[in-house]
Structure 1
Amino acid sequence: MKNHNPKEILSNNLNELISKKRKSQADVIRDLGIPEATIRSWFNGEKYPRIDKIQMLADYFNVPRSRITEEQTGVMQRVSNLIKVPVLGLITCGEPILAEENIEEYREEIADLLPTGNIFYLKTRGDSMTPTIPENSFVMIREQSDVEDGEIAAVLVNGDEETTLKRVKRQGDIVMLVADNPVYPPYIITKDNPARILGKAIKFSADL
């Protein structure tokens, strides 16, 4: 039987998401900077957030707003809603990221489980991000021009001729691209050695 109480639906969805993402209410309070009483009222089904706060929660959990606000009615219904996410090859200098000439193939994903924004895949070549990301994995990227310190990003380097996946780390005024494989030295971004962030790595998958 369907639940028509928006507060209860939101509460159920939020509690399910923190369980799946292995987070706690304390993590959400700290990371979003929202008062504890407000967060707990949402999770307990006592209050309903404004639309800007719903979007903030959706961005935080990397899900569409509907995953926060709408009742989830089962896997079979969601699986029927598939979209094709492009897998990019060589990204052409000066062209939009999702330009047709950059697309090698597509991978199908369940629409309701995707984060908001423009999404694309990159296939890893090499072992610079092992063991975190295995070789020949498909890494989902959400297009954005910057990431938080320590997050993994898709970055254009070598005069916009090469795309790499690295952690973006900052030490004062110094910005570095750091591999998880310690064999690889960090890439220091300078005026003579520029780089441009294409987007944030969301997850990876691999074909058997």
Structure 2
Amino acid sequence: MIDTPALPVKLTARQQQILELIQNAISRTGAPPTRAEIAAELGFKSANAAEEHLQALARKGAIELVSGTSRGIRLKQQRTTVTDRAQQLMLAIPGLSQLALPLVGRVAAGSPILAQEHVDQTYHVEGSLFQHRPDYLLKVRGMSMRDAGIMDGDLLAVQSTREARNGQIVVARLGEEVTVKRFQRTAHGIELHAENPDYPTIMVAPDEPFEIEGLAVGLIRNTMLM
């Protein structure tokens, strides 16, 4: 579970419960829950009740709410995301870093994701920023995962693996293309869900070429590195 930040104002029992639910969702799937998911998990009659508690948590400094997205919840001092200037400095000072992560830019069709020709540069990143150790950073292209807080140009921290659980955000290879989507295995095959209603769900039939390249374990907003 992601560490709880030190808060200036004491939380109520219900607020603490919601904060822990958010932390666990991010740790498990790489993204915060929606208001509807919070309401369903805690037995609220509507998503509006969840919204009221989230607003209270935001006022107390436990979270930050991002307008315009269904999953627009960010933990203050969240360890999987670079959120303040002190953490940005860790990226720039090799003496404070523990991980040297290659940044993968555009991936050529059909070749390994970590092929040397795909690596744009290497970032030295403080390892404690991540709950799970990443193996590389992938530059996000497009806005298909916008509502999960993953924007065009962001650097997605990825842990290499061939396995994923339903609901996790994965880096997947479909034939000669690499994409970032939310993974769902069904009785009929694999579904890759976007977090943006403008993008369709990708249906992968059992006989189609498909491979999981890794799991999303953190995010670095690229503008913070400038």
TM-score w.r.t. length of structure 1: 0.57
Q: What is aligned with 2:142? A: 126
Match of 1:203 among 215, 218, 225: 218
* Structure possessing the higher radius of gyration over alpha carbons: 1
Residue 171 in structure 1 maps to residue 156 in structure 2: no
What amino acid does structure 2 have at the position aligned with 1:150? G
Partners of 1:117 and 1:143 within 8 A in 2: no
Residue 19 in structure 1 maps to residue 19 in structure 2: no
- Gaps spanning 5+ residues in structure 1: where? 1-13, 32-61, 64-74
Match of 1:180 among 195, 202, 206: 195
Distance 1:196 1:166 in 2: 13
Q: What is aligned with 2:159? A: 142
* Offset of residue 114 of structure 1: 4.0
Distance 1:114 1:172 in 2: 33
* Offset of residue 192 of structure 1: 4.9
- Gaps spanning 5+ residues in structure 2: where? 6-18, 29-78, 81-89
* Offset of residue 116 of structure 1: 5.2
Match of 2:205 among 190, 194, 208: 190
Mapping of residues 21-170 of structure 1, within 5 Å = 22-23=19-20, 80-92=96-108, 96-114=112-130, 119-132=135-148, 133-157=150-174, 159=175, 161-170=176-185
What amino acid does structure 1 have at the position aligned with 2:191? M
Residues 134 and 117 of structure 1, relative CA distance in 2, 3 Å threshold: closer
Distance 1:185 1:94 in 2: 23
Distance 1:169 1:79 in 2: 40
Q: CA RMSD in A?
A: 3.1
* Offset of residue 142 of structure 1: 0.5
Distance 2:199 2:128 in 1: 37
TM-score w.r.t. length of structure 2: 0.53
